[in-house]
Amino acid sequence: MDFELSETQRILKKAVGDFSERWCSPDVVRRHDEADAYPHDVYGELAKAGWLGIVYPIEYGGSGGDAMDVTLIFEELCRRWMALGLIYHTAAIFPLGIRYFGSEEQKRTHLRDIAEGRTRFAFALTEPDSGSDAAALRTRAVREGDEYVVNGAKTFISGADVANRIALVARTDPSVSKHRGLSMFLLDTRSTGVRIQPIPKLGIHGLRTCQIFLEDVRIPFTDVVGGVNNGWNVVLRTLEWERLSIGARCIGGCQAVIDDAIRYANQQKHSGTAIGTFQAIQHMIADMEIATQAARMLTYRLAWMIDHGKPCAREAAVVKVFASETYARIARMGVQVLGEYGYTMDFAMQRHYRDSKIYEIGGGTSQIQRGIIAKSLGL
C-alpha cells in the first residue's frame, strides 16, 4: 500500500494550488459570493489550464487523467473557493455519461467543446415530486419520427442558467418498472419550449440552481445518450463520480476551515494570550484535523477504486456521508473558534457554514446514503 502521491500528481496539485492563489484571492471570492455572480473569466482560465477535460480521453480533446487527478483538482480549488469547485464539477463530472455511454459522434461533438470551455453542462435529474426517489421522475419524452417531444419540469438544477446543454433524464417507457423506462438526453438549452428560472439559495453563491420548465421541447433522437431506456445506468455512473467529487470538495473545504481557524487562533489575543494556547481551542482544531485526515483517506481510496475498476457503490456512499458531515461539523466548529467574528460577513468562515450544508442534501441525502450502505450490508 502506497500513500505517497506520484510525481505527476504532486506537480498537478501544486499547479492547481498556484492557480487558486492567482485567480481565487479572498477578495475575488467574496465579491462573487456577495453578488451571486458566475466567474466567467476564471472558468475560461480553468479551460486554458486544461483541467475542464481532465477525465476525458486525449483523442476527444481531454487530458486523459483519472479519478485521482480530478480529486486533487477539486480539493485544491475548494480550499480557496468552494463555489468554483461546484462550477468545475459541471464540466468535469456532469457530462461523464458521454465519456462512458456516448456514441462516437456525441464524443466528437461535445467533449472537446467542454474541455475548451465552449460548452457548459448541467445535469437534470431532480423534479418537484422526485428528489430522493429520483427514478420516480415524471418528465415524459414521447418519440415522434426522428425526435422526442419532452414535457415536464426539473428543479434544483445547478448551473442550468449558464449551460448550453443539459444532461436531462426523462421517462421514455411508462409501462416498465420505474428504473427501466428512463433515458438520458443532451438537451440544447436554446430549444423552443425551455424556460429556466433561478431559485435563491443559502450558499454556493456564483453557481445558481434553477427550475426548468419543458413544454413540447423537441430533442433529436441522436441526442439520446447510452440508448433508449438505459438512462438509469448513465445516472448511476454519474452519481458514483459525483460522490467522489463531493468527498474531494468537502476535504478542500475542511482544509480551508482548519487553515483559517489556526491563523485566527494564533493571532487573536485575550488578556495578552493567543486563544490558540487555550486547550479548548486546541482540541477543537485537533478534532477538525482528525476528521479531515479520515475523510481524505476515504476519498483517495474511492478514487483509487474507481481508477482500478472496482465496484464501489457502498464506498461512494460512505465517502458522501462522512466527508459532507465532516465539512458541516468542522465549519460549525470553525465559527465557534472565531467567536463573534465567525458570525460576521467580514470573515470567510460564515461562507463555509453556509456552503457546507448543501453536501448533506445534494447528490443524495445522508439518510439515503445510509440506506444504500445498510442495504449493501444485507439489511
Q: Is residue 74 a contact partner of residue 252, using CB atoms and an 8 Å limit?
A: yes
Burial of 343 (0-12, 13-18, 19+ CB in 10 A): middle
- Compare residues 220 and 371 and give the one whose CB is closer to ligand FAD: 371
Element (H, E) at 215: strand 209-220
Q: Which cell goes with 209?
A: 440552481
* Alpha helix positions (H), 59-171: 67-80, 82-92, 96-101, 104-115
Residues that bind ligand FAD (CB under 6 A): 123-126, 131-132, 156-158, 201, 209, 358, 361-365, 367-368, 371
- Tell which residue, 257, 263, 268, 273, has the closest CA to residue 333: 257
Element (H, E) at 142: strand 140-144
What's the min distance (Å) between Cβ of 17 and ligand FAD?
Answer: 27
What's the min distance (Å) between Cβ of 6 and ligand FAD?
Answer: 32
Cβ-closest residue to ligand FAD?
Answer: 131
- Compare residues 118 and 375 and give the one whose CB is closer to ligand FAD: 375
What's the min distance (Å) between Cβ of 55 and ligand FAD?
Answer: 18
What's the min distance (Å) between Cβ of 368 and ligand FAD?
Answer: 6
- Tell which residue, 157, 320, 160, has the closest CA to residue 245: 320
What's the min distance (Å) between Cβ of 204 and ligand FAD?
Answer: 6
Residues in contact with 22: Cβ distance below 8 Å, sequence separation at least 6, in sequence order: none
